Structure 1
Amino acid sequence: MGVKEVFERAKSVEIERSHHTSNKEETHQSDLPGQGAPGLAPVPALYEAPPRSDITLEEYMFYAQVQREQEKLYGAAGVAVEANAPHGSGYLTDAKEKKPSSEDASQHSQGGVQAGVAKPQVNNTDASTFDQLDGLSDTEKESRNAHRAIKTATWVAIFYLITTDILGPYGAPYAMSQNGYVTGNVMYIVMGFCAWWCGILLWKLFMQLDSARYPVKTYGDLGERVVGSWMRWLFNALQTLQLIINVGLLCLTNGQALSQVISGAPGNANLCFSVCVVIFSLIGMAFAQVQTFRGLGFAASTAVYQNIAIVIISMAAIIKYGPYIAGAQASYGNDYPYNNQPVMTSAFVSYDITQKVNGLMNMVFAYGGAMIFPELMAEMRRPMDFWKGMIGAQALICTVYLVYANVVYAYQGQYVLGQSYNGIAKYSFQTVCNMLAILSGTIAAALYGNVGLKVVYVNTVQAVFKGPALNTPRGRVIWASISVVYWALAFVIASSIPQVQTISGLIAAIAIMNFSYSFPFMLALIFYIKRDAMQGDVAYAPGYPALRQDTWRQWSRWQRGLFGGHYEIGGIVIPSILIKVVLLFMTLGSYTLSGLGMYGSGESIKEVFDSTAAATSFGCAAPV
Structure 2
Amino acid sequence: MADSDFKDKKQPDYGLETESDDPDSLNTITALVAEDHEHEIKLRTMSWQKTAILLAGEQVCLAIMAQSWSLSVLGWVPGIITMVLCAVLFWITSITMHKFIMKYPQIKDICDFGYYVFGKSRVAYVFSAFMLLANNILLIGFHVLTGAKVLNTLSDHSLCTSVFAVIATIMGIVMSVPRTLNHISSMSMVSSACMGIAILLFLVFAGIESAPLYGYNGNYPTLGPVKTYAFPQAGTTWIACMNAVLNITFLWVPQILFPSFIAEMERPQDFPKALAVLTFISAILFLVPPAIGFRYLGQYSTAPAFGSLGVVAYKKASFGFVIVPTLIIGVIYANVTAKFIYKRTMGQSKHAHSNTLIGWGVWGLVMVGIWLLAFVFSEVIPSMGDFLSLLSAAFDSFFGFIYFAIAYWQLNRGKLFNGVGKSVMTLVNVFIMVVGLFILGPGLYAAVEAIITDYSGSITPAFTCANMAL
TM-score range, shorter chain: 0.7 to 0.9
Inter-partner Cα distance in structure 1 for 2:295 and 2:70: 13
Unaligned runs of 5+ in 1: 1-22, 26-48, 72-76, 79-90, 92-130, 134-139, 264-268, 533-563
For residues 432 and 68 of structure 1, do their structure 2 counterparts lie closer, same or farther at Cα, with a shift above 3 Å needed? farther
Match of 2:228 in 1: 345
Q: Which amino acid aligns with 2:75?
A: G
Q: How does 1:410-449 map to 2 (within 5 A)?
A: 410-449=295-334
Inter-partner Cα distance in structure 2 for 1:602 and 1:411: 31
Match of 2:275 in 1: 390
Q: Which amino acid aligns with 1:277?
A: A
Query: Helix, strand or coil for the counterpart of 1:237?
Result: helix
The structure that is helix-richer by fraction is 2
Query: Helix, strand or coil for the counterpart of 2:172?
Result: helix
Match of 2:387 in 1: 503
Work out whether residues 136 and 337 of structure 2, in 8 Å CA contact, stay in contact via their aligned partners in 1: yes
String of CA shifts for 1:68-88, please: whole Å, max 9, x gaps.
3379xxxxx55xxxxxxxxxx
Identity of aligned residues (%): 19
Query: Helix, strand or coil for the counterpart of 2:6?
Result: coil
Paired residue total? 460
The TM-score, its normalising length taken from structure 1, stands at: 0.65
Inter-partner Cα distance in structure 1 for 2:184 and 2:112: 28
For residues 489 and 155 of structure 1, do their structure 2 counterparts lie closer, same or farther at Cα, with a shift above 3 Å needed? closer
Q: Work out which of the residue numbers 139, 151, 155 in structure 2 matches 1:258.
A: 151
Q: Which amino acid aligns with 2:129?
A: N
Unaligned runs of 5+ in 2: none
Q: Which amino acid aligns with 1:414?
A: Q
String of CA shifts for 1:415-459, please: whole Å, max 9, x gaps.
222122233222333222222111221222223223212222323
Inter-partner Cα distance in structure 1 for 2:198 and 2:21: 43
Inter-partner Cα distance in structure 1 for 2:276 and 2:176: 33
1:622 maps onto 2:467 in alignment = yes
Inter-partner Cα distance in structure 2 for 1:198 and 1:294: 24
String of CA shifts for 1:249-286, please: whole Å, max 9, x gaps.
111111111111122xxxxx632223322221233344
Inter-partner Cα distance in structure 2 for 1:274 and 1:620: 6
Match of 1:179 in 2: 74
String of CA shifts for 1:359-404, please: whole Å, max 9, x gaps.
1111111112212323333344554443333234213312222111
RMSD of equivalent CA atoms: 3.7
Work out whether residues 252 and 498 of structure 1, in 8 Å CA contact, stay in contact via their aligned partners in 2: no
Inter-partner Cα distance in structure 2 for 1:372 and 1:440: 17
For residues 255 and 153 of structure 1, do their structure 2 counterparts lie closer, same or farther at Cα, with a shift above 3 Å needed? same
Inter-partner Cα distance in structure 2 for 1:141 and 1:598: 40
Match of 1:302 in 2: 190
For residues 437 and 132 of structure 1, do their structure 2 counterparts lie closer, same or farther at Cα, with a shift above 3 Å needed? closer
Larger relative CO (CA 8 A, sep 6+): 1 or 2? 2
For residues 467 and 604 of structure 1, do their structure 2 counterparts lie closer, same or farther at Cα, with a shift above 3 Å needed? farther
Q: Which amino acid aligns with 1:69?
A: P
Work out whether residues 365 and 513 of structure 1, in 8 Å CA contact, stay in contact via their aligned partners in 2: no
For residues 494 and 186 of structure 1, do their structure 2 counterparts lie closer, same or farther at Cα, with a shift above 3 Å needed? same
Match of 1:518 in 2: 402
Match of 2:444 in 1: 598
Query: Helix, strand or coil for the counterpart of 2:394?
Result: helix
For residues 296 and 222 of structure 1, do their structure 2 counterparts lie closer, same or farther at Cα, with a shift above 3 Å needed? closer
For residues 514 and 475 of structure 1, do their structure 2 counterparts lie closer, same or farther at Cα, with a shift above 3 Å needed? same
Q: Which has more radius of gyration?
A: 1
1:317 maps onto 2:205 in alignment = yes
Work out whether residues 36 and 44 of structure 2, in 8 Å CA contact, stay in contact via their aligned partners in 1: no
Work out whether residues 615 and 622 of structure 1, in 8 Å CA contact, stay in contact via their aligned partners in 2: no
1:200 maps onto 2:95 in alignment = yes
Query: Helix, strand or coil for the counterpart of 2:5?
Result: coil
Work out whether residues 46 and 182 of structure 2, in 8 Å CA contact, stay in contact via their aligned partners in 1: no
Work out whether residues 382 and 455 of structure 2, in 8 Å CA contact, stay in contact via their aligned partners in 1: no
Match of 1:52 in 2: 7
Q: How does 1:117-516 map to 2 (within 5 A)?
A: 143=35, 146=38, 153-168=46-61, 169-210=64-105, 215-227=106-118, 228=120, 229-263=122-156, 270-288=158-176, 291=179, 297-321=185-209, 324-325=212-213, 328=215, 332=216, 341-349=224-232, 350=234, 351-380=236-265, 382-459=267-344, 461-462=345-346, 469=352, 472-516=356-400
Inter-partner Cα distance in structure 1 for 2:20 and 2:248: 39
